[in-house]
Amino acid sequence: MTPRPPAKPAIPSLAIRLVRFVYRVLARSLSFFTGGRIESAQGVTVGMVWVATAPVLAGCALVDLIRSGPDVGGLAASAAIVGTGGVMVARTCTFPRRVGTVQLFGSLVFGAFAAIFAVMVPHLLTGTASSFDVALVEATAAITATNASSIDPSDMSFGMLLLRAVAQWAAGAAVIVMVVRVLPLLGTGGLDTDGGVATRAARRLSPRVGGSLGRLLLLYVSLTGLVAIGYAAAGMPFFESGLHALTTMSTGGFSTQAGSIGAYSSAAIEWVAIGGMLIGGCSLPLIFLALRWGEPQRLLKSLEFRLYLVLVAFASFSIVVWSDSAITVDAVRRAIFASTSAVSTTGFVAGDWTTLPAGGQMLLVVLMVIGGMSASVAGGFKAVRLVALTGYVRRELTRSLHTNAVQTVHLGRSSISDPAMSRIVGDTVLSLLVLAAGLVALAATGLGGGGVGLTGDSLGALSTVSFAVSALSNVGPAFGALGPTDHLSALNPLGNVVAAGLMFVGRVSATPALVTAGVLLSPIRHRVLHRSRARTTETIR
Amino acid sequence: MTLRRIKSTPVRVAGVALLIVSTGMATSAVVGFIDGGGDGVALLWSTVITAVAGAAFLFGAQSGERSDPALSFAAVTWAWIAASVAGALPFLLTGVIPWRHADNALFESVSGFTCTGSTILGDIEAVPHGLLFFRQMTQWFGGMGLIVLAVAVLPALKVGGLELIDKEAPGPSTDRLTPRIRETAARLWQLYFGVTVAVSVALLLTGMSLFDAVGHAFAVVATGGFSTRAASAGAFDSIAVELVLIVGMIFCGASFSLHWQASRRGLKAYRVSEFNWYLWILGGGFLLVVWLNSSQLAFADNLRESAFNVVTIVTSTGFGTSDFTGWSVSIQLIFVLMMLIGGMTGSTTGGMKILRLQVVWRYAYREVIRSRHPRAVLPIRLGSTVVPEQVAARAVGFVLVYIGLIVIGGVVVSALGSDPVSAFSGAVSAIGNDGPALGKAGPHSNFLSYPRAARPVLMGLMLAGRLEVFPTLLMFAASARQLSRIRGQLPSRVR
């Protein structure tokens, strides 16, 4: 093997030391807070999330004060509430010595719940959200990085806007933490909550404590800064570039304008957004490795990255070709924008999505389902799983002809083991079930006065299905009555709750959600099962 | 010059299929002459053409000796295609569909033989009775072929999955119809014929004319969905008729081999988990739809319409009585889900089939359990039988391909100019062989609302769905092999 050339120190040592310092502070505070007696990973997570959110809320209150916005009191009060709650919970819990898969899933789910709650409180206290369900869905959209909202951004104070953008950005950071820390812990024992299969890049970045995590977070921060500079250079006002950079990099999609990026009517801004979204949907370990070794061609070597680009290209091309209007540069740019927004699951909107050709709209929905690359902050199904499933199908087709063929499923140059393949298939099936149930539930909420589905015409079916898919993939905008500019205003309270549920399961991924639900419901399950079967069975019924 | 017979099983099987279709045409010709609608001669001509072609195929080819699953796939697919092409002839020759719309005739024929029941005919009652009778017969033949396919041929090729629970199903064998397969087929055809007669008699007793009764019996037993009336089964506006149809559909949506076993071993043969699920889906779906409809329909109407529609959708029959495109979206989505699920394996219904979905569900659930107990050894069980891993993988592959085809089909059809809802629901309905779709192709309209270029796509999906996907996907690979083999058999100067 030829020895590798020595790594160029791509990251200045000062920055590394800073990150290590912050990490040590956090670790110390962790041990300070968690001195309690209840051994619960979930409790610790909840507490730490709230403790971490409190300063953010306080910061937003401060910013609002500087800008003399109306929400200072509300934000400050939320900071106090959440902070106190967090400290209380964290102090009663401590990290268990052995963390099983179920506990990890549980902490994931409960951590997300806690974050949603922490964002709900300011929404309610500042009066931004008019009722509980609106606050719930707004908070969920913020935490799951979905661009679905029923509140006009111009009605919100700057503090709230900042909070929502930071919430989306922090959600992205949380995904990175999950990818680096949780992925290897789950390893062969459980389901990878992100992507299902670690690509070569992610596997190369085997985590040493604090090392890769710090580096990846630093990369995330610097890329956000880069995008912010890009926006400012393209002509966006200073603070707004910052906010948009936060929501672009995290593939969240919230904007300070009601018309999203399209409201700026600036080609330059749209191009920056396209670039930012592409990066946001890209696998962070891959970018890191490419930068570290100074080899941008690494990006192109990745099968998943190539698929990612091909999807965007194919969709943009099809949209342009299938549309009836003339082919202008604007139209091409808008098509690329829409495709990138869909596949990276960001959800920015530029141009009128309702004028897209029907086939183009459906392609966008398909792109939403496919989602970004694995080990990225984007949502969706992840492109790598599509590759894996295609390989699986091809193998089965071959096996119908040659019954005893032994074939492995390939992903680029590496192969996917059977247990990993089973996991992917299992998660796919469960996600489909969740989608089906969510669809019916969402449509059923339209009954009884107002909202989607009452008239039962084809627009109703279209908006329901596209919105359910959009929510599950954490994109946001859909078609029909829940179109890109109306978002959630058409939903009634129950619909809001169902939408929040879909977004949540989409982010947390089906298996952890279902396992946690199963654990929570296990007393009921025990009673049901043991009453109907006299003999105990270990078999799956 | 000695006439060489080419060794090609697909050609031979196609010949058999064509001969069978020609007998149907002959019967319809008789009906046409009796009825006097002016189509008798045209039907006679189609009989002759089809019979000649069938004889040519049958006697010009002999069965290949090699046992090759690919061959069987190709045989099955080509037989269905040949029958569909032949079935278009009566429509064209009688002038009901002009020659410049020959693709419409093909659509109607494919829709019949795949027991789908989507129609492009506008005014059904203006069509002469002989042709209408033939249209109903295409479904009946499709159903017959299907029974054999599902219960005998596919398990031998390890595609259907029925070999799991049906102990009567033959094991692996060659591509020729072995005595075992023939035996099974003969038994099932007896049952099929008997049920057809029973349903016809029942319908006669409710007051239908002989023509209508037999025609609808054909549609019910094959779970097709064509009707001899424009308003479909709703034209009779009779609860008795609808009850008979409901019972018939439920019966025919269940596995025919299960019925055969029940006739020999008694009712305890019905204690199969798939049958349980089937009944649960019917019952649960019915209650759900009634509940969701309760705000829009009066109670009695609600029960009647919900029951009929749920049963007809679950069994993928598709009689278009009520226009459910006007119902709540949640009900429409439930119907789409039911179209996806389908009925029992070993029946004439479409969809992914309950057995397969049971296997896939258990496969997925096993992964959830494995996340807690990573080293557990968890076989997938159906009742008391263990499902081998390969079979489960095959079922999973099928589900993935099925969904993939729907997505691709939907995107293509909407790109060709249809609106998204009609496009995707049309794709689901086509591959599930149901009949009605949502949007513009609802139960009270027809499939002419799809752009002309989109209808071949739907035809392809119908065929793929009927033949359980893998044969159609593999037939090109199989046929290419076959062609190279035939080329090897011809004398050297012709090659």
| pLDDT tens per residue, range A472-502 | 999 888 887 666 666 677 677 888 888 899 9
Q: Which two tokens stand for residue A480?
A: 């029909």
| B364/chain A closest Cα distance in angstroms | 4
Most confident stretch, A126-130, A399-403, B161-165, B169-173: A126-130
- What distance in Å separates residue A293's CA from the closest CA in chain B? 36
Nearest Cβ partner for B292 among A430, A444, A464: A444
pLDDT tops 60 at residue A7: no
Write out pLDDT tens, residues A101-139: 778 888 888 889 999 999 999 988 888 888 888 899 999
| Greater model confidence, B351 or A197 | B351
- C-alpha Rg value of chain A to the nearest Å: 23
Place of tokens 């009796």: B34
Contact A456 B332 (CB under 8 A): yes
- A512 band by pLDDT with thresholds 50, 70 and 90: confident
A397, A426, A436: residue with CB nearest B474: A397
Percent of chain A with pLDDT over 90: 14
Q: Is B481 on the interface with A (CB under 8 A)?
A: no
Report the alpha-carbon distance of residue B234 to residue A535 in Å, rounded. 50
Distance from CA of A541 to the nearest CA of B (A): 8
Read out DSSP for A442-464? HHHTT-SSSSTTSS-SHHHHHHH
| Whether the predicted pLDDT of A535 surpasses 50 | no
CB atoms within 10 A of CB B104: 22
pLDDT at B458: 93
Comparing CB atoms, the residue among B400, B417, B418 nearest residue A393 is B400
Contacts of B478 in chain A (CB under 8 A): 401
Residue B472 has a pLDDT of 73
Taking CA atoms, A536 is separated from A525, A526, A527, in Å, by: 14, 11, 13
Do residue A191 and residue B420 have CB atoms under 8 angstroms apart? no
Which residues are bridge partners to A411 per DSSP? Answer: A414
Longest dimension (CA), chain B: 77
Nearest CA in chain A to B363: A426
What is the pLDDT at residue B417? 84
With CA atoms as reference, the chain B residue closest to A418 would be: B393
Q: What would the pLDDT profile of B408-448 be if each residue is shown by its tens digit? A: 999 999 888 888 888 999 999 999 998 888 878 888 888 88
Hey, what are A485's tokens? 């500019």
| Residue type at B482 in one-letter notation | Q
Q: Stretch B451-464: mean pLDDT, rounded?
A: 91
A6: pLDDT confidence band, cut at 50, 70 and 90? low
At residue A413, the pLDDT reads 65
pLDDT (mean) for B356-377: 82
Find the mean pLDDT for residues B142-169: 61
B421/B445 Cα distance (integer angstroms): 15
A453 pLDDT above the threshold of 60: no
By CB neighbour count within 10 A (0-12 exposed, 13-18 middle, 19+ buried), where does A61 fall? buried
| Interchain contact, A458 vs B364, CB within 8 Å | no
Q: Residue B94 has which token pair? A: 């009688």
Encoding tokens for residue A129?
Answer: 């959200």
> For residue A125, which of A38, A61, A66 has the smallest C-alpha distance?
A61
pLDDT at A157: 84
Instruction: Give residue B69's pLDDT band: very low, low, confident or very high (50, 70, 90).
Output: low
Collapsing DSSP states into helix, strand and coil, what is residue A147? Answer: coil
Instruction: Tell me whether B416 touches chain A (CB under 8 Å).
Output: yes
Residue whose C-alpha is closest to residue B157's, from B394, B432, B350: B394
Contacts of B155 (CB under 8 A, 6+ apart): B161, B162, B163, B166, B169, B170
Residue B106 has pLDDT above 90, yes or no: yes
Contact A456 B367 (CB under 8 A): no
- Distance between CA atoms of residues A177 and A175, nearest Å: 5
Output the six-digit token pair for B370.
């494995």
Query: Residue A536 has what pLDDT?
Result: 40
Secondary structure (3-state) at B61 = strand
Q: Is A364 a residue whose pLDDT tops 70? A: yes
Are A100 and B423 an interchain contact pair (Cβ–Cβ within 8 Å)?
no
**Which residues on chain A are in Cβ contact (under 8 Å) with B412?**
359
User: What are residue B380's phi and psi, to 5 degrees?
Assistant: -90, 125
pLDDT digits (tens, 9 = 90+) for A390-437: 888 888 888 777 767 777 777 666 677 777 788 888 888 888 888 988
Average pLDDT in chain B: 82
- Mean pLDDT along residues A446-470: 61
B73 → chain A, closest CA residue: A401
Pairing status of strand A409-411 against strand B6-7: unpaired
Cα–Cα distance measured from residue B355 to residue B342, given in angstroms and rounded to the nearest whole number: 10
Query: How far is C-alpha A234 from the geometric centre of its chain's CA atoms?
Result: 27
B96 touches chain A (CB under 8 A): no
CA–CA gap between residue A487 and residue A189 (Å, rounded) = 39
* CA-closest candidate to residue B361, choices B434, B258, B274, B473: B274
Q: Say whether residue B245 is in contact with chain A using an 8 A CB cutoff.
A: no
Closest CA to B184 of B171, B165, B197: B171
Scan residues 119-178 of B and list those with Cβ closer than 8 Å to A. Answer: 157-159
Residues of A in contact with B292 (CB under 8 A): 444, 447
d(CA A258, CA A90): 38
Residues of chain B positioned with their CB less than 8 A from the CB of A366: 407, 411
The alpha carbon dihedral of A469, A471, A474, A480 has a sign of positive
Rounded to a whole number of angstroms, the distance from the CA of B405 to the nearest CA of chain A is 12
Give mean pLDDT, residues A294-318: 85
Q: Distance (Å) from the C-alpha of residue A480 to the closest C-alpha of chain B?
A: 11
DSSP letters of B142-176? HHHHHHHIIIIIHHHTT-S-GGGT-TTS--S--SS
Name the residue facing B328 among A188, A401, A456 (closest C-beta): A456
**Residue from the list A101, A400, A439 with its beta carbon closest to the beta carbon of B474:** A400
Q: Kindly tell me if the per-residue pLDDT of A194 is higher than 60.
A: no
A392 to chain B: which residues are within 8 Å by CB?
Answer: 393, 396-397, 400
- Residues A94 and A81: their CA atoms lie apart, in Å, by 21
Residue B172: what pLDDT?
A: 38
pTM assigned to the model: 0.85
Dist CA B492 CA A339 (whole Å): 56
Among A309, A396, A314, which residue's Cα sits nearest to residue A363? Answer: A314
List C-alpha distances in Å: A248 to A53, A165, A195, A254, B268.
21, 9, 21, 8, 62
Most confidently predicted of A197-201, B152-156, B354-358: B354-358
Token pair for B297: 């329909």
The answer, yes or no, to whether residue A540 has pLDDT greater than 50, is no
pLDDT digits 0-9 by tens, A230-268: 999 988 888 889 999 999 999 988 888 877 888 888 888
pLDDT at position B459 is: 92
Short-list A175, A207, A209, CA closest to A192 = A175
Pairing of β B61-62 and β B6-7: parallel
Residues 6+ apart with CB under 8 A from B349: B223, B252, B253, B314, B315, B316, B317, B342, B343, B433
Nearest partner of A375 among A254, A185, A216, judged by Cα: A216
The whole-angstrom distance between B337's CA and the closest CA on chain A is 8
pLDDT of residue B168: 39
From A363, A392, A515, residue closest to B400, measured CB to CB: A392
Tokens 């890191």 correspond to what residue?
A288
Which of the four pLDDT bands, split at 50, 70 and 90, describes residue B257?
confident
SS3 content of chain B, % helix, strand, coil (to 5): 70, 0, 30
Exposed e or buried b for every residue in B170-194, given b needs 16+ CB within 10 A? Answer: beebbbbbeeebeebbebbeebbee
Strand partners, B386: B381
Both tokens of B99, joined, read 């020659």
Which single residue is written with the structure tokens 């965007």? A312
> How high is the pLDDT of residue A457?
37
- Answer whether residue B310 shows pLDDT above 90: yes
Which H or E run includes A91? helix A72-92
pLDDT tens string B214-255: 999 999 999 988 888 887 888 888 888 999 999 999 999 998
- The band of B325, judged by pLDDT with boundaries at 50, 70 and 90, is confident
Q: For residue B165, what pLDDT is reported?
A: 42
What integer best gives the mean pLDDT of chain A? 79
**How close, in Å, is residue A382 to chain B by CA atoms?**
16
Identify each DSSP E strand in A23-158 by its residue range: 38-39, 93-94
Residue in B381, B415, B420 closest to A462 by CB: B420
Q: Which is more confident, A73 or A33?
A: A73
A243/A218 Cα distance (integer angstroms): 18
Q: Report phi then psi at B280, rounded to 5.
A: -65, -45
Residue of A nearest to B395 (CA): A396
- Among chain B residues, CA nearest to A419: B367
Highest mean pLDDT among A315-324, A449-458, B229-238, B396-405: B396-405
Q: What is the pLDDT of residue A196?
A: 43
Contact A393 B422 (CB under 8 A): no
Say which range, A287-291, A309-313, B193-197, has the weakest mean pLDDT. A287-291
Q: Tell me how far apart the alpha carbons of residues A86 and A47 are, in angstroms, rounded to a whole number.
A: 4
CB contact under 8 A, B363 and A465: no
**CB B328 to CB A454 under 8 A?**
yes
**Helix, strand or coil for residue A410?**
strand
> What ipTM is given for this predicted complex?
0.83
B28: its two tokens: 């319809």
Can you say how many angstroms the Cα of residue A411 is from the centroid of all Cα atoms in its chain? 23
Query: Which of B66, B333, B362 is the best substitution to test chain A (most A C-beta atoms within 10 A)?
Result: B333
Q: Would you kindly state where each structural domain of chain B is located, as residue ranges?
A: 6-342+468-489
**pLDDT higher than threshold 60 for residue B159:** no
Q: Does the structure show a pLDDT above 80 at A205? A: no
Does B381 sit within 8 Å of A458, measured CB to CB?
no
Residues of B in contact with A514 (CB under 8 A): 368
pLDDT score for B169: 40
Q: Give the residue on B whose Cα is nearest the Cα of A324.
A: B417
Residue B239 contacts A, CB cutoff 8 Å: no
- Confidence at residue B478, expressed as pLDDT on a 0 to 100 scale: 64
State the nearest Cα–Cα gap between A419 and chain B, in angstroms: 9
Give the tokens for residue B252: 């025919």
**Is there a contact between B288 and B309 (Cβ–Cβ < 8 Å)?**
no
What integer is the mean pLDDT of A48-54? 87
Which is more confident, A143 or B179?
Answer: A143
